[in-house]
Amino acid sequence: MVRIELRSAQHRDLVASVEAEGDLYRVDGPMADLIDPSEPLLGLPSGRRVTAAEDAEEWARGLVVRFRSADLSAAIVHDDRPLPEDDDVVSVDAHLVG
């Protein structure tokens, strides 16, 4: 289960929340209409574009990338399968660098 909270960056008010578990998801809050489950987002941790219908938990984690602005920010507040910790190691496929 993943729980995401979307907050106003200036006032820290909760404007929407998303809970996703398996194939199911729920969007709640006074501004829940800001979140479009059919919008493909950068899925985390796979990096592929996903919608809520394709993979609800991965899509929900992607909201932290989608909503990171001076106005709104999303944060993962609970995750049964958290993303791996950053170990400062970056590998690049030589074919991609060119």
Note the pLDDT tens digit of each residue in 52-73: 999 999 999 999 999 988 889 9
Whether omega before 84 lies within 30 degrees of 0, making that bond cis, reads no
Token pair listed for 78: 């609970």
Q: What is the pTM of this model?
A: 0.81
What mean pLDDT comes out for the span 43-59? 93
Going by the DSSP 8-state scheme, the letter that residue 84 receives in this structure is P
Token pair listed for 75: 């944060």
Phi first, then psi: give them for residue 81, nearest 5 degrees.
-130, 75
Specify the pLDDT at position 17: 97
